[in-house]
Structure 1
Amino acid sequence: MNVVAHERFLAVEINDAPVDDRAIAAGAATIRVRGLEKDFGANRVLRGIDLDIPAGQFVAIIGKSGCGKSTLLRILLGLDEPTAGSLSFQSADGSQTPNARIVFQEPRLLPWLSAADNVAVGLGEGVSNLAGRAKALSVLSEVQLSEKAGDWPAQLSGGQRQRVALARALVSKPGLLALDEPLGALDALTRISMQGLLNRVWRELGFTAVLVTHDVSEAVHLADRVVVLDEGRIVLDILVPHPHPRRHGNPALAELEGKLLAAILGAGRLS
C-alpha cells in the first residue's frame, strides 16, 4: 500500500470510528485540518497539511528538526494562526470549542508556589481556593505525587516537576492535550517511567492527545498513530496496531520503529 492510499484508508477509518464512553466523558476533541499552510516571511513551514484525528486518539508527530512539528502543534492550540487552510474541532460532548491544554519540555512552574498551588493555576480564575486545592490534590494523586503537594519546585526532581506540569494541564479535564517534547529533558529511566504514567492517565481519562517528539521509540510506545512530517508535508501516516500498555523491547514495535526512521531519514517509504 503506498502512502497516499494509506492516508485515504486512514481517513475512511477515522471518519467511521466509534467514539467510546471515555472520550465522550472527557469531551475529547475530533480535529479536522484541511490544506493548512504556515509561512514565516519567505520560509514556508507547513505546506498543505490534511489531517483527521478522532476523539480520544493518541497521535504522535515526528520528523527532523525544522520540519514543522511544533508549528503544527501551536496552530492546533491556537497559539499561532495559519497562513491558509482550515482547522475545525468537534468535541465528543457536542461542543465546537475543546478545552485544550499544553505541556512543554520545560515544566514552567512558578517557583514561589507549592506543587499543589502550581497545579491549581491550571484551573484559571473563578474557582475558590478550597475547591481548587481539592482538585489539585486529586490530580496530584493521579500522577503519584500526593506526598509532594506542599513542596516547592526547587525541592522536586526533574521528573517530579514534569509530573506537576502534567497535573496542571490535566486539572481542568482537557478534551485535547498537546505535548511538545514533554519528556525530552529527562534521563532515560525517568523518561520511561513518565511514558508509562502518561499512557495510563490517557487511557483512564480518554482525552485526545497530540505529541510532538524526536524520539521514535517514544512515539511508537505511546501513540495509536504516528505521523511523519518532512519539509512541512505529511510523508507517512500509520496506525500502531498493538494494544496498550506496550512493552519496551517488543520486536514488532522495533520493526515499526525501523520503518519510521527510514521515512524520516529519507531511506524509504512504507509500502
Structure 2
Amino acid sequence: MSHIEPARKFTAWGKEIEPEYRVPAPVPAAGAGKAVGIRIEGLEKSFGSVPVLRGIDLEVPAGQFLAIVGKSGCGKSTLLRLLAGLDEPTGGQISFSGPDGAATTPNGRIVFQEPRLLPWESVAGNVGVGLGPGVSRREAEAKSLAALAEVQLAEKASEWPARLSGGQRQRAALARALVSRPDFLAMDEPLGALDALTRITMQGLVERVWLEQGFTALFVTHDVSEAVVLADRLIVLDEGRVALDLEVPQPRPRLRGAADLAELEGRLLAAIFR
C-alpha cells in the first residue's frame, strides 16, 4: 500500500486551500495528450535587408520533442516567434494539423528565458493570465492551482513573484504556459538563466510535464547536453538554414554522460562549429 502524505495547506485568492489526498497518477507515454503536427515550407524571415531565416523546410510530427541548437543569431528565437504567431514570415508558410491530419488552428504557447511575471499579481494570478479572457473566477482558480501543482509550486500560490527563487519563477512561467493545455509549447532558452543544479531539476520537470500532457514541444537551447537529454530529435540552425537534422534513439530516462549521448553531443558541436 502506498504511503500518501497530506498536501500542505496554502492560501490563494484570500482563502485557505487544502488539496485532496490522492495517489499520483501513472505517467502516460509521450503523445498521450492532444498535440499538433507542424509543417514548415520555404520559411523566410528578414528584418529590413538582413535575412535571418533562409528557406527552412521542416516537418514536426504531433507529440515530438524537438530541440533547436545553434550559434547566437542563427535564427532560433525568430523561428519560435513565427511558430507562436508573434511575428509574420517574409516568405513561405507554417501549417498545423490535428490528430486526423486535417488543418487546424493550434492552441500554442511560448516560454521565454525571462519569466516575465507580473509583479502586482500573486503567483496563482500570474498563472491565471495564461487562460485569457472569458474564464470564470472559480474555473481560473481551479486550473491555476492544478497547473502550479503540476510544476510542484502549489504551496507558493499566494506569494508575490519577488519572493520566489529564479527556479521557482521559471516554474511559475511554465505553469502559466501549461494552464490552457496547449497543443504545442515553444520554449526559448527557458533554463538559460538558472544555476547548474536548478537547471538539471528543471530539465526533469520539463520532460515530465511533456510526457504527461503529450503536447508537441520545440525547445531552443545553447546547451547541447541539455538538448540530447531532453529531445526526440535535434536540429542545428546555421545562418538561417537547417545544417543538421538528427534523431535521438536512446530510450528515456537517459543517463547523463553516457557514451552514446556524448557521441551525439559531438556531432552537434561539429555541425555548430564547422
| Shared fold per TM-score greater than 0.5 | yes
**Residue type at the aligned position of 1:48:** G
Aligned counterpart for 1:30 among listed residues 37, 43, 59: 37
Structure 2 counterpart of 1:143: 151
Alignment pair present for 1:111 and 2:119: yes
1:130 aligns to 2:138 (yes or no): yes
CA distance in 1, matches of 2:103, 2:59: 17
| Greater CA drift, 107-116 or 94-103 | 94-103
In structure 2, the residue matched to 1:208 is 216
Per-residue CA deviation, residues 219-239 of structure 1 (Å, 9 max, x unaligned), is 111110000010111010000
Kept in 2: contact 1:49–1:234 (CA 8 A) = yes
Q: Is the 8 A contact 1:23 1:92 kept in 2?
A: no
Q: C-alpha separation between the residues in 2 aligned to 1:248 and 1:39?
A: 38
Q: Find the counterpart in structure 1 of residue 47 from structure 2.
A: 40
Letter in 1 for 2:144: A
**Distance in structure 2 (CA, Å) of the matches to 1:152 and 1:247:** 36
CA shift for structure 1 position 21: 8.2
Trace 1:64-213 onto structure 2 (pairs within 5 A): 64-92=71-99, 96-213=104-221
Percent identical pairs in the alignment equals: 68
Match of 2:235 in 1: 227
Question: Match for residue 11 of structure 1?
Answer: none
Does residue 218 in structure 1 map to residue 226 in structure 2? yes
Q: Check conservation: 1:235, 1:263, Cα contact below 8 A.
A: yes
Q: Which amino acid aligns with 2:77?
A: S
Tell me the TM-score normalised to structure 1 length: 0.88
Contact 2:77 2:188 in 1 (8 A): yes
The answer to whether the Cα contact below 8 Å between 2:123 and 2:157 also exists between their aligned partners in 1 is yes
Q: Deviations over 1:219-262 (max 9, x none)?
A: 11111000001011101000001112222122211111011001
In structure 2, the gaps of 5 or more residues are 1-27
Whether the 8 Å CA contact 1:99–1:176 is kept in 2: the answer is yes
TM-score scaled by length of structure 2: 0.87
Name the SS for the 1:244 alignment partner: coil
Q: CA deviation at 1:95?
A: 5.9
Q: Partner letter of residue 66 of structure 1? A: G
Shift of 1:24: 6.4
Q: Is the 8 A contact 1:91 1:175 kept in 2?
A: no
Give me the whole-angstrom Cα distance separating, in 1, the residues matched to 2:147 and 2:272: 36
In the alignment, the residues of structure 2 paired with residue 158 and residue 251 of structure 1 have an alpha-carbon distance, to the nearest angstrom, of 32
Q: Cα gap change, 1:218/1:111 in structure 2, threshold over 3 Å: closer, same or farther?
A: same
Structure-2 separation of matches of 1:95 and 1:87: 11
* TM-superposition CA deviations, 1:200-231 (whole Å, max 9, x none): 10011100000111111111111100000101
Gaps of 5+ in 1: 1-19, 267-271
Counterpart residue type for residue 43 of structure 1:
V
Shift of 1:23: 3.5
**Is it true that 1:55 corresponds to 2:62 in the alignment?**
yes
- TM-superposed deviation, 1:164: 0.3
**SS of match in other structure, 1:185:** coil
Counterpart amino acid of 1:158? G
Contact between 1:24 and 1:92, CA under 8 Å: does it hold in 2?
Answer: no
SS of match in other structure, 1:260: helix
Partners of 1:230 and 1:189 in 2: CA distance: 29
- CA distance, structure 2, for counterparts of residue 227 and residue 112 of structure 1: 39
- Superposed CA deviations along residues 159-178 of structure 1, whole A, max 9, x for unmatched, are 00000000000000000100
Distance 1:216 1:250 in 2: 14
